[in-house]
Amino acid sequence: MSLSRAHVFIVTGANRGLGRSIVKIIAQRAEANNETRHIIMVGRDQQALEQVAQADAKNTFTYIVPGIELGKPAHEITGPILSKLNEVLLSSPVASATSVYLTLMNSAGTICDLSKTVDQYSEEEVTEYTAVNFVSFAALTSRFLARAKTVPHVERIAVANISSLLAVMPFANWGLYASIKAARDQLLKVVALEHKDDPRVRTLSYAPGPLDNDMQAEVRASIGDAEQKQAYSDMHSKKKLVKTDDTAGILCTLLDDWTFESGAHIDVYDIIGLPSQ
């Protein structure tokens, strides 16, 4: 019997920014390694997702799950994603593979109102922010792991969380964002502990650095802390912000190499070193 490997990815927030770059790098690695990869792209905007789809990549199959609003009830988020995952897993290229890798890339998320300090939050915005950025993440992680462990011939099950330096170091005006990033990191540490005797399962929280993207532009425009505003503006003007393709490549290399400790928090600067002044 000939050996064949199928690698199935779910990428949330795939229609823009870092998520878009992750899809691009996954497809490039499929071509370079002559490996069949299936990418389930999750996001709100169907047209944007279609533009990201890797139609010309001979070793990559892309699937779209549009209309996903992270503030919806959790079952309305996990249901369509797991339905598409089941469809892909039952397709001939995956079902007939002798080795299956499954990876959930949690890239979707929002920043909080950076003009506010913690004492200025309303009950409503705390509830909404938590639902969008933690409840959906925890529910999808749970459903993905439960399904992945039942897949025949599965050899790797990875859950990657786009984290931040703010998950481990506090900065003013980032109260909600930092707290939720820390909670996501901790959830994956718990998953790692719960699966310490299952070598197939690993989790990773990856801090991609201050990115050169639309979200960083929003940070520079809205953050209430003058020192941070100046620091981010200086990084932008001196071109010290991290390119999304570059950091997506580092994340994909970490997952491909499979040498990271499960539950680890790894910062891009742990890999490339801090930028020079």
Give the pLDDT confidence of 33-81 residue by residue, as tens digits.
888 899 999 999 899 899 888 655 788 999 999 999 998 999 999 999 9
pLDDT of 5 > 70? The answer is yes
Note the pLDDT of residue 3: 61
pLDDT of 173 > 80? The answer is yes
pLDDT of 1 > 50? The answer is no
Note the pLDDT of residue 40: 97
The mean pLDDT of the chain is 93
Residues paired with residue 36 on neighbouring β-strands, in sequence order: 6
Percent of the chain whose pLDDT exceeds 70? 97
Q: Which CATH number applies to 5-210+244-267: 3.40.50.720, 3.30.1300.10, 1.10.390.10, 3.40.50.10800?
A: 3.40.50.720
pLDDT in tens, 116-137: 999 999 999 999 999 999 999 9
The reported pTM is: 0.94
**In which residue are the tokens 């990869």 written?**
37
The least confident of 20-29, 50-59, 143-152, 177-186 is 50-59
Note the pLDDT of residue 150: 97
Note the pLDDT of residue 35: 85
Contact yes or no for 157/254 (Cβ under 8 A): no
pLDDT in tens, 187-243: 999 999 999 999 999 999 999 999 988 888 888 989 998 999 998 899 889 999 999
Note the pLDDT of residue 55: 58
